[in-house]
Structures are given as structure tokens and as C-alpha cells.
A and B are shown apart, each in its own frame.
Chain A
Amino acid sequence: MTLTLDIDKPREKKPVVAQTMFLAAGLALLVLAPLFFYPVFLMKLLCFALFACAFNLLLGYTGLLSFGHAAFFGGAAYFTAHAVKEWGLPPELGILVGVAGAAFLGAIIGYLAIRRQGIYFAMITLALAQMFYFFCLQAEFTKGEDGIQSVPRGHLFGFIDLSQSTNMYYFVLGVFIIGVAIIWRIIHSPFGMILKSIRENETRAVSLGYSVRNYKLAAFVMSAALTGLAGGVKALVFQFATLTDVSWQMSGEVILMTLLGGIGTLIGPLFGAGLVVTLQNYLATSEFPVTIITGLVFMVCVLLFRRGIVGEFYNSRLGRKLGFEHRH
């Protein structure tokens, strides 16, 4: 069960310099961005980018298409919002509660879903996430249709006031960088290599003696936990948690971000998220429904553009010159 992933991480051989410069420029852009853009927009972007990167850990590097990641994103948002608002926990602990909750959910859903493969895996995750949606609709603590409103951002480590949007932005940026660094570390570890081997040829991985099930479940839980990190932070950024974040449309959105940016590339989802969030912001004021555009972009991507933006760049002449190699 592999998607056509003829793209992968850039090989660290020749022009590492150019890539390091790209990385430095990117970081500088993110640090300076609040001077030019509305911070809440940037924070939203970073949350979704982390969400998409975490999702890509599963789709791009393990070859598992989950159609239920909204459960972890929205679930963590609820857990964090509840922990911070009702239990009065500080933001860092609140987010940890969200991450733990998402990991727990991931363990349950993952345990059930990995019993089937491919297309069934996608349908099972979708159905189980929908079940969680109905649970959130009826549970006490989620406050039903209203959601958990006016969640306090609180003080980070007790002294950094997160209600100030600049402080909040750098906090979100910090979380984002840590999250992506963790994903990078996972991908480049021996564990990550085994995940990729499962993606490429599951039967072979089994015959080599790896207990594929455990690896898949581990990858699923990690992806869910990192998704929870994004969801928990998002709850603090917007100061609410609602049903939107657990709905199946959200699961679809994160797939689109990943597909658009480039499945199986580390930073592709960042670009995909940027595009989708910008588009949503742009269309939010108009009457025109976003879903039509989303749907069309989906169709075009799948038909003509399966490598995604970053994947196409890696595969272009310039990209290869810079050492982002096209793997076959």
C-alpha cells in the first residue's frame, strides 16, 4: 500500500550549504513575519502547518491514509481548553493534557484501524472519528453546539503573559519548531527507516521480521500526539474549542494541505497549510463557499499534481541542482 512517493527528504550530500541557507531564510521569515502580517493569522497558519506535518508523518512516511485526524486535532483542543479553563492549569500543562488525550485517542483508533489495510484503513479512521464527533456533540464537558468559549491563554511558565499576541506568536512558533524537529528526528531515525520500508513494501518488512503492526501503531500514536500538540495550541490561540475541529471536513482539510504541499516532504505541508489557510481567509468575507474551491483543488491535485508544490520543486531542474533529489 504505497502512494506514489517518488520524492523524499533531500539527501544530505552535495550542496548542503544551499539547503542550510533555505532553512535559515525560512526561520528568519517566520521570526520577522509578525511585523508584516496579522499575528492571529500567522498563528493559525503555524497550527495548521504543524497539524499537516504530523499528519504527513503517517501518510507520507508510513503510507497510511487516516481520514480521522480531526478527532485528534479537535479532541486535543477540547482537552486543552477544558484543562485550562475548568481546572485552571497553566498553558504548558494544558497543552500536555491535550497531547496526552490525543495520544490516548490515537492508541484506541489506531489499534482498531491497523487491523485493516489501505482503503479500509481510511474508512475505519473516518468512521471512528465520526463516532468521536457524535461523542463530542453529546458529552457534557464540550458544551455541545456552543463549544468551550473564552478559554484563558494564561501565563507561560507563570511569567510570560500569553494574552499579548506577540508573546503568543513566539510561543506558537517555538512549539511549531519543536514539533517539526521531533518529526525530523523520527523520520531520520532507524525507526523512521522501518516506517518507510513498511510504506514501500509491507510484506517485505514482515518477512524481514519486523512486527509491522506495532510500528504502524507507534507511528499512528506519534502522529496523533503531534496533531494534539497543534490542536491544543490552536485552542489557546483562538481561545475556544468547537465541533468544527472534530468534524470530518477538518480531516479532509489536512489531507488537502498535505497533498497540495507535497506528500512525503518534510516542509511541504507547511506550504500546503499556508495556501489553504490564506484561501480560507480570503474567501471568508465573500459569499462563495470554500468547499467548492477545496473540492476542485483536490481533484486537480490528484489528477495532475500528485507531487505537490514542494515535491514538484524538488523534482524540477533547480531543485535537483540544489541537491533535493528525486528518488526512484
Chain B
Amino acid sequence: MIFGIPLQAFLGQLLIGLINGSFYALLSLGLAIIFGLLRVINFAHGAQYMLGAFFAWMLLSYFGIGYWPALIVAPLAVGLVGAVIERTMLRRLYSLDPLYGLLFTFGLALTIEGTFRYLYGASGQPYATPAALAGGTNLGFMFLPVYRGWVIAFSLIVCIGTWLVIEKTKLGSYLRAATENPILVQSFGINVPFLLTLTYALGAALAALAGVLAAPIYQVSPLMGSNIIIVVFAVVVVGGMGSIMGAIVTGYLLGVAEGLTKVFYPEASNIVIFVIMAIVLLIRPAGLFGRDV
């Protein structure tokens, strides 16, 4: 018993919070990377997350291609779609106020979601948990479904891996340099327009990866993206988009905060992140890890 709550229920919600936090972290990480270089808030991030889940589902139901290949193929496909969109359309907006990027990607999100809603209806499609990760283990104090443990572990690996790529590799140093001063970097002979395309594709692929991970947990539905993206925006406001690590940490923290609220005061669970955002704005307007931009 913790504060009069059975330990089982407490840990159960903590687990759900960590799972949600994994998705918040992956999505806000992608948003932060895209914003860092492109100065575009990618409103289509939720739609790309949904696309990832849907591609996985389509691969399985139309071609019999299972979870593991989908975990690679779906993000690649969505990343490619993202690259095409960046090259043909988004690119034209860089010289304008960043708000136009937000509006454009908002329109993109509406179009993608509307299309999938038209084709597949608003209800969700089930996606079976891969056989290797089915079942669960008894940890002694609680029952842990293997798949959920996998999601938490794998998303942590992806987050830390992405952070390492950006902070420790040559490519990452180009990205960071281009964030600071694109013109100077270009004058050193680095192909900045290509970096921009790559970055948008990478962000979209991260969203799609989160989508594939989410497919067996939530239903694969055209609306799954728009439900989560607004929460992720709040996460991004709380974390501040200045730092990659900040986005990741805030994602997990807020997921857990949401899960724990479900234990103690369930009515407030779907607004707690917004409340935290409001409090952070009052106390530390730049965000917890923010360098104001």
C-alpha cells in the first residue's frame, strides 16, 4: 500500500505512465530535432505517427509482413514520404515566418488523417502483439506484459541512440552547426539543403517508429495521431525545445506524472499535463530545459 493505494494498482499505472511517456519522448524528440534545424513545428507529427502504425498494419494484413520487418520498413517509408514533402513543398516556407510552417503541416495533417478516415473509417484496427513478445512475466510484485517492457526498453534505446548520433557523431556535428549558422556551414561546402531534407525525414521516421511500437498497444486508428500531438506540444512547451535530452526527459516525466494522476485523481488525468504546462509557464516561461528562441 502506498498512500492508501494498493501497490498493484500503483505500479500498474506507473507502467502505463512509462509507456505513454515513451511515446511522448519519441515524438517530442522528433519535434525538437525538426524544429532545431528547420524552425518548423511539425504539426503533421501526429499524422506521421499514425502513418507508421497504419503502414505496419497494412504490411501485415495485405502482404503478411510481420512486426519485425515493419519496425524498419514503416519508418523508412514514412521518412521517404517526409523527404518528398520537404523537398517539394515545405522547403518553400523557410524564408517566411515559422508560423506558416505550422499552418502548412497542420493542413498536411488534416489531409492525411482525412484520407485515412475516408478509407478505413474512424474505428480502430487491431494489431496483434508479435509472438516473440507475447505473454508476460511475473516480477514478484507485479505482472509485466513482455511487449510493454519491450516498448519502454526499445524507446529508451532509440532516444539515447538519437541523442548520441546528434551529440557525438560527425553528422550530428554538422546538424548542430547548421542549427547555429546554416550560411556559414554551407560556405564550408556542406550540403545544407540536403541536411534539412534528411532531418525532416529523420523526424518523420522517428514518429513512424513510435507509431509501429504503439500499434499492438492501442488500436490502429486514423485519429490516434491527433489525440496525442496536442499533448506532445504541451510536453514540448514544458521541456523547451532547446535541448534534445530535455525533450526526452520531459516526455518520460510527464508520462509518469499522467499515470500517477490516474491513481490518485483519475478525473484530472487527461488534463494534468496541461496544468503542469501552465505552472511551468508561470514559474519558468522558457521551459525546464529551455534556451529561449
Contacts and interface: CB of A to CB of B under 8 A. Distances in A.
Interface of A: 1-4, 65, 112-113, 115-116, 118-120, 122-124, 126-128, 130-131, 134-135, 138, 248, 252, 255, 259, 287-292, 294-299, 301-303, 306
28 contacts: A3-B97, A65-B99, A115-B282, A115-B285, A116-B237, A118-B97, A118-B99, A119-B99, A120-B237, A123-B236, A124-B277, A127-B274, A127-B277, A130-B274, A131-B271, A134-B271, A252-B106, A287-B118, A288-B118, A292-B110, A294-B107, A295-B107, A295-B111, A296-B107, A299-B104, A299-B111, A302-B93, A302-B100
Contacts of B93: 302-303
A123 B231 CA distance: 10
A287 B117 CA distance: 11
B166 to A, nearest CB: 21
Nearest to B277: A127
Contacts of A291: 110-111, 113-114, 117
A269 B111 CA distance: 22
A292 B118 contact: yes
A252 B100 contact: no
A2 B274 CA distance: 27
Contacts of B106: 252, 255, 295, 298
A253 to B, nearest CB: 10
Contacts of B281: 112-113, 115-116, 124
B108 interface: yes
Given A1-B97, A2-B97, A122-B102, A128 B278 contact: yes
A291 to B, nearest CB: 3
B41 to A, nearest CB: 5
Contacts, number: 125
Contacts of A122: 41, 99, 102
Contacts of A128: 274, 277-278
A130 B278 CA distance: 13
A248 B104 CA distance: 16
B8 interface: no
Interface of B: 35, 41, 89, 92-93, 96-100, 102-104, 106-115, 117-118, 226, 230-231, 233-234, 236-237, 267, 270-271, 274-275, 277-278, 281-282, 285
A112 B237 CA distance: 12
Q: Which 9 residue pairs of A and B lie closest in terms of their CB atoms, listed nearest first?
A: A298-B107, A295-B110, A295-B111, A291-B114, A292-B114, A131-B274, A299-B107, A127-B234, A115-B285
Nearest to B238: A127
Contacts of A302: 93, 100, 103-104, 107
Interface centre among A124, A128, A248, A291 (most CB of B within 10 A): A291
Contacts of B102: 65, 119, 122
Nearest to A292: B114
Given A118-B98, A298-B103, A298-B104, A252 B110 contact: yes
